[in-house]
Amino acid sequence: MKKFKPINIMDNKGFWPEKASLLDAIKDILATGHCESRFPVKDFGRFRSPQWRDEENVLVPWQSVDWYIYDSLDEDRMQVNGASLLRNLANEPWRDERLLGDHYDLFIIEEDLFLPDKEGKGPGYCVGVCRPSFAAVVSSHRIEHIWGMPYSVTKTEIMRQICFMLGVPSHLRDDVSKGPDATAFCHNTCILREARDAPEHWEKLTEDRLKEGALCNSCMDDLRKFFSGRSHKDN
């Protein structure tokens, strides 16, 4: 599986003033990781191919952001099932080398998001989910109305999910533990620590990021090892 591959961005928000936070988050992660232009970023925006609906006006699989959302929508909860959406992103036909080829997907949605447990229920909501090496999804539903901080808080969560998608923090560290969905969380003053309650925890993560920096030294080291191609076994 390739590590250095394009980051493809999609969103279903149309025009949104926090869009700059998305691009700035990617730039900050690449700069912090000392990445040397090996990650082209392609912004597909509110993607809809010319064939996104068929002759009966039904959404065609894989041809629009609308289909990705609709196919993963839990109508009883009126929330998007994060596991289903990540599965669709990881299995999309666009990964064929004759089409877009292998890539990372970063999908920003405005609908509320949840991650089901083994019984298919799961907690009330989540702000972001990821499938390492494939895709990350960020929902703005719970954080976009934080007074005076929509740009900063959105940037914090996007940076978090990009790191999780790239495998940061490392599962091999002593100061890291796994959450219920096997996501690795840092125990230090770092944006990669666990957050559950929105918007309170995201406000605190953002305040700490602005004061102390986004990543602790250990997570910064993990990120730089990823971009340099080194592993913990190399030390």
pLDDT at 231 over 60: no
pLDDT for 235: 42
pLDDT tens digits, one per residue of 125-151: 999 999 999 999 999 999 987 766 788
The mean pLDDT of 13-19, rounded to a whole number, is 73
Q: What confidence tier does 20 reach under pLDDT thresholds 50, 70, 90?
A: confident
Residue ranges of alpha helices (H) inside 91-176 are 150-165
pLDDT for 123: 66
Q: Which two tokens stand for residue 165?
A: 């998608």
Q: What confidence tier does 229 reach under pLDDT thresholds 50, 70, 90?
A: confident
Q: Please give the Cα distance from 97 to 155 (Å, whole number).
A: 31
Domain range summary for the chain, segments of one domain joined by + = 7-228
Q: Mean of the per-residue pLDDT values for the chain?
A: 90
What are the C-alpha distances in Å from 71 to residues 44, 58, 80, 194? 19, 12, 9, 28
Are 80 and 69 contacting, i.e. CB atoms less than 8 angstroms apart? yes
pLDDT for 233: 44
At 25, is the secondary structure helix, strand, or coil? helix
Architecture (CATH level 2) of domain 7-228? 3-Layer(aba) Sandwich (3.40)
Name 73's bridge partners. 80
Q: How far is CA 233 from the centre of its chain?
A: 27
